[in-house]
Amino acid sequence: MTKELLLQHLQELHTHLTDELLPFWTARTMDEIDGGFITHFDQYGSDSGEDEKSLIAQTRSIYTYASAHRAGYGEGALAELARHGVEYLLTHMWDEEHGGFYWMTNRKGEVINDQKIVYGQSFAMYCLSEYTLATGDPRGIKYARNVFDLLQKYATDTTYGGYFEMFERDWTLKGPGSAGGDRKTLDVHMHLMEAYTTLYECTRQPVHRRKLLEIIELLVMKIMHPVYGTGVPQFWANWDVAPQIKFDIIWGWDRFTEDGVKSEAEDNTSYGHNAEFAWLLLHALAILDIPHETYLDQFTKSFSHAVTNGVDWEYGGVYVEGSHAGAVYDREKEFWQQAEVMIGFLDAYRILDDDIYWKAYENVHRFVLDKMVNHGVGEWWPLMTRQGAPIWTHMSHSWKINYHTVRAVIQSIRRLDYLMTTRKDQ
């Protein structure tokens, strides 16, 4: 790794962000008629017409614009986009009677799914805290704190720890099985850590710090594999490992058998999730002012597993998932895993000082810029073959939005800038 190579990567990412990625979103997402954001676009960037506005897509869009503004992009226009999204979120998606945000409205703002899904509530906290940090608007942190309080009241499992995840509108816990009421997941608890980190950064309140520390300990001690340090996807309420199944709400992708059960249902881990968890934990510790060495063993295991088993050194990019012990199950390339390992490998290179992580970052960077970016439109293909041919071709829907891609580029630029200033020329 040389400064010349660092500069090349920096320039490539900056050009992609400012000339392609941000313009893709800013040019087409604002719904000037009904408020909020339009979030469904085909491979050409045209509105594909789905009549929905999901909590996950609206909140992730708010986060994207607020965080990009906070990072210094957009000359104020991104803050206005974030504010536009917050107006819709608070007006149409907040439940005045029971509290919390509805899962989905149609484009006009009429509620079509009133359930309270903790995955969505976590992103509401995340985006609203980020919005207040970015703009100073106190409404964001007011509602973020309200959601935090609701989760402590209704979702906390006081017997085994952690949070239940799937609720009816009035916060009645949903039933078992595909309804999800009897399970807990890595995904939700990781995103709660992410949300609590930004909430605490904004408020500096002791209760938010305590709950962030609590969920970090839960993730490290209960959710990550005790031997390999890799993420286990699903658990029963008592934290026994549960077979990974498809829920009625949230995980709508197609890697399940017809009965809704995952192949290798009790032995699969995502390389992208492991890298994402590790860099989010690093960020949380920085906000908490706790040395990263406190969890050095966890970082070493998470990053080592991803780089050893997940990187495709022949065709580039990172695979979807595999066994905790190392066997690769799914060799396709999905957009969000590439995004998260870019950030993760740069963090691993910084704290572990092993050149393999720079080589892995460079590998994924090249795969993304050369194959995964749909340069004619500006966004990333959602899913590709191992060799880099598109399988899914939409540019956006409720689950493939700007959050992963924009965040990955901004965070990678930040880390490359750091390396430029701290590494001696080679």
Reported as a single tens digit per residue, the pLDDT across 365-382 is 999 999 999 999 999 999
Check pLDDT > 70 for residue 267: yes
Phi-psi region of 287 (alpha: psi -120 to 50; beta: other; left: phi over 0): alpha
The count of other CB atoms within 10 Å of the CB of residue 149 is: 12
CATH architecture of 1-30+286-425: Alpha/alpha barrel (1.50)
Q: Per-residue pLDDT averaged across 107-135, rounded?
A: 98
> What pLDDT is recorded for position 423?
74
Q: Which residues pair with 373 in a beta bridge?
A: 380
Structure tokens at 125: 């906290």
Check pLDDT > 90 for residue 246: no
Check pLDDT > 90 for residue 89: yes
CATH 1.50.10.10, the chain: domain bounds: 1-30+286-425, 47-225+234-267
Lowest mean pLDDT among 111-115, 163-167, 253-257, 381-385: 253-257
Which of residues 202 and 245 earns the better pLDDT score? 202
Lowest mean pLDDT among 77-86, 165-174, 229-238, 417-426: 417-426
Contact 51, 106 (CB under 8 A): yes
> What pLDDT is recorded for position 263?
64
Q: Distance of alpha carbon 390 from its chain centroid, rounded?
A: 22
Q: Which amino acid is at 163?
A: Y
Check pLDDT > 60 for residue 251: no
Q: What is the CATH number of domain 47-225+234-267?
A: 1.50.10.10
Element (H, E) at 355: helix 355-367
> What pLDDT is recorded for position 1?
78
